[in-house]
Structure 1
Amino acid sequence: MQTHFSQDDLQKPHIREADRVLRSCVHCGFCNATCPTYQLLGDERDGPRGRIYLMKELLESRDDDDQVTEETRLHLDRCLTCRNCETTCPSGVEYHKLLDIGRAEIERRVPRSLPERSLRFGLRKALVEPARFKALLTLGTAFKPLVPGRLKSKMPPAPVDAGKRPEGKRHARQMLILEGCVQPGLSPNTNAATARVLDKLGIGLTPAPEAGCCGAIDFHLNAQDAGRERMRANIDAWWPHLEAGCEAIVQTASGCGAMVKEYGEALADDPAYAEKAARVSAMAKDLGELLANEDLDDLSIQDKKRLAFHCPCTLQHAQKLAGSVEGVLTRLGFSLTPVQDGHLCCGSAGTYSITQPELATQLRDNKLDALEAGDPEMIVTANIGCQTHLAGAGRTPVRHWIEIVDEALT
């Protein structure tokens, strides 16, 4: 794609990066064929190719250009950032990088209304601190009839009790685990189950309580600078343990995993953190990715449920790990039902299901129809956002896949 940035513009790092991404696009439109929002809305501007044109016009225009309006922002807001288009693209267009630049620019030039700003600020403050989120969740559960509908569906009826974690220090092999921000409140058993399964494999988990939110929520809500601050804080929390010999940083939420694996790129221009960030990204491992490379013979499985696996977009399109969890579950003897259009997003997409509830609900219901077509006993997934969003429909039970493995251990 031809661009028209001035030499002065190209001195700016974000414009230079946008120019690189734009020039790799050849206008083919293959991306639209796998874009969830384009399939629902049929509007070129709600597909990747159309959004790329919108962002090109935005970035090439002057600040006083009256063609840049709230309508431009609406089409960028409707993007799920599922990155399905990147998996499809024959030219390797790094669409998500351009989208981060475009969203930051439209945020600067077209300020949101007070209600929108308040919602986004509230989400950032409510979701990123585990203790605050747990307190709000407890309060919301107590007064559930008064909670707005779009939030009520996110509240689990009764999370599975976490149970006891094994003492990880007794193993020579040590790894870190990102506890997450909303997962400890919504699904406290996920990381506890992970600790028990890894314990069976001779792997201990070193606690790093200073580590917090991965930064993804800030990025979803166009607060990239705040997201980078969270990245730096996590690197500081993990660094002494990595230096002491911890061999990996395990993520049980694929959305967090996708973010941590991009720390190196996000902080590449930070001289104090670039090298450390690159190492952290290299050591980040999704749980399915980790177990796929382990000898699983020591995991004796008794109960082998019939499962439908929902592969999150952050696992298959961002981390490029499609089939990793499915392979582990199959090796352990579970029966997986076929899922048509497994590449399509469920509509969770971070905070998308709250900021774009109508589209998110349509995508969720379509995804559940596909997952339930094989009549599974349970739906399992690898991301807390997808898990909560799908479970909110009140249809087939939805849990994290590692919980089912943990419960089946003999």
Structure 2
Amino acid sequence: MQTQFTDADLQKPHIQEAERILRTCVHCGFCNATCPTYQLLGDERDGPRGRIYLMKELLESRDDDDQVTDETRLHLDRCLTCLNCETTCPSGVEYHKLLNIGRAEIERRVPRPAGERAQRYALRKMMVEPKRFQALLKLGQTFKPLVPSKLRNKMPAAPIDAGARPDANRHTRRVLILEGCVQPGLSPNTNAATARILDRLGISVTPVAEAGCCGAVDFHLNAQEDGRARMRANIDAWWPYIEQGTEAIVQTASGCGAFVKEYGYMLKDDPDYAVKAQKVSTLAKDIVEILRDEPLDELSVNASQRLAFHCPCTLQHAQKLNGAVEGVLSKLGFSLTPVQDAHLCCGSAGTYSITQPELATQLRDNKLNALEAGDPEVIVTANIGCQTHLAGANRTPVRHWVEIVDAALS
């Protein structure tokens, strides 16, 4: 794709990066064939190719250009950032990196209405601090009928018991774990189950209280500098353990894992953090990357349930781990039902199911129909956002897959 940036524009790092990405696009449109929002809406501007054109026009235009309007932002907002298009693209277009640039630019150029700004600010403040989120969740559970439906459906009916964790110092092999921001409240047993499974394999799990939200919530709600500040804070919290030789930084939420693996890229221009951020990205591992390389036959598992696995977009398209969880579950003896169109997004996409509820609900119901076609006893997934979004329909039970493995250990 040809670009028309001025020499002055090309002095700006974000324009240099945008030009690099834009010039890899060959307009083929293969991306539209697998884009969930294009399939629903049929509008070129709601597919990756159309959004790329919109962002090109936006970045090439001047600040006073009246062609740049909130309609441009609408089509960028509708993108799930599922990265299905990147998996499909034959030219290797790094669409999500361009989208981050485009969203930051439209946010600067076209201010949102006050109501939208208030909603996004509230989401950030509500979700990124685990203790605050858990307090609000408890309050919401107490007064559940008064909670707006798009939030009420995501809340567990009652507090969930996480169960005990093994001693964090009993094994020579040690990993860190990112506890996350909403997962400790919505599904506290996920990380506890992970610690118990790894303990069986001779690996101790060290939680680091100072490490908080990975930064994805801030970043994807266009508070990108706040997101980078969270990245730096997490790196500072993890660094002493990294210097002591920790084996990995484990994530059980694939959305967090995909984001932490991008720390090196997103802080590449920070002279104080670039090297450390790259090291963190190298150490970041989804739990399946740890388990698939371990002697799973040493685990005594009573794998009696029939499962349907929903592979989150952040696992299959961002981290390129499609088939990894299915492989581990099959090796452990679980029966997996087939899932049609497994590459498509469920509609969760971080805060998307709150900011774009109609599209998210359509995508969720389509995904559940595909997952339930094989009559599974339980639907399992690898990301807290997908888990709560799918569970909100109150159909087949939805759990994190490591909880099912942990419960099956004899």
TM over 0.5: yes
| Structure 2 partner of 1:140 | 140
| Structure 2 partner of 1:326 | 326
Q: Distance in 1 between matches of 2:207 and 2:160?
A: 22
Identity percentage of aligned residues: 79
| Structure 2 partner of 1:340 | 340
1:87 maps to amino acid: T
CA offsets per residue over residues 7-58 of structure 1, 9 Å max, x none?
1100100000000000000000000000000000000000000000000000
CA contact (8 A) 2:257 2:284 kept: yes
Q: Displacement, 1:304? A: 2.2
- The yes-or-no answer on 1:179 pairing with 2:179 is yes
Matches within 5 A, 1:241-252: 241-252=241-252
CA contact (8 A) 2:194 2:402 kept: yes
Q: Aligned residues, how many?
A: 410
Q: Displacement, 1:303? A: 3.7
Matches within 5 A, 1:5-404: 5-404=5-404
CA offsets per residue over residues 36-85 of structure 1, 9 Å max, x none?
00000000000000000000000000000010001000000000000000
Q: Distance in 1 between matches of 2:283 and 2:303?
A: 33
Q: Distance in 1 between matches of 2:364 and 2:297?
A: 36
CA contact (8 A) 1:159 1:188 kept: no
Q: Displacement, 1:405? A: 0.2
Q: Displacement, 1:392? A: 0.1
Q: Distance in 1 between matches of 2:157 and 2:299?
A: 30
CA contact (8 A) 2:81 2:349 kept: yes
Q: Displacement, 1:159? A: 4.9
CA contact (8 A) 2:34 2:85 kept: yes
CA offsets per residue over residues 209-245 of structure 1, 9 Å max, x none?
1000000001110111110000000000000001111
CA contact (8 A) 2:303 2:333 kept: no
CA contact (8 A) 1:159 1:187 kept: no
SS state at 1:87 partner: helix
SS state at 2:308 partner: strand
CA RMSD in angstroms, aligned pairs only: 0.6
Q: Displacement, 1:158? A: 2.9
Q: Distance in 2 between matches of 1:337 and 1:346?
A: 17
Q: Distance in 2 between matches of 1:158 and 1:33?
A: 41
SS state at 1:174 partner: strand
TM-score (norm 1): 0.99
Q: Distance in 2 between matches of 1:278 and 1:252?
A: 20
1:307 maps to amino acid: L
2:65 maps to amino acid: D
Of the structure 1 ranges 149-158 and 226-235, higher mean CA displacement relative to structure 2 is found in: 149-158
1:161 maps to amino acid: D
Q: Which runs of 5+ in 2 are unaligned?
A: none
TM-score (norm 2): 0.99
The runs of at least 4 aligned residues of structure 1 exceeding 4 Å deviation read none
CA offsets per residue over residues 325-356 of structure 1, 9 Å max, x none?
11100000000000000000000000000000
2:124 maps to amino acid: R
SS state at 1:63 partner: coil
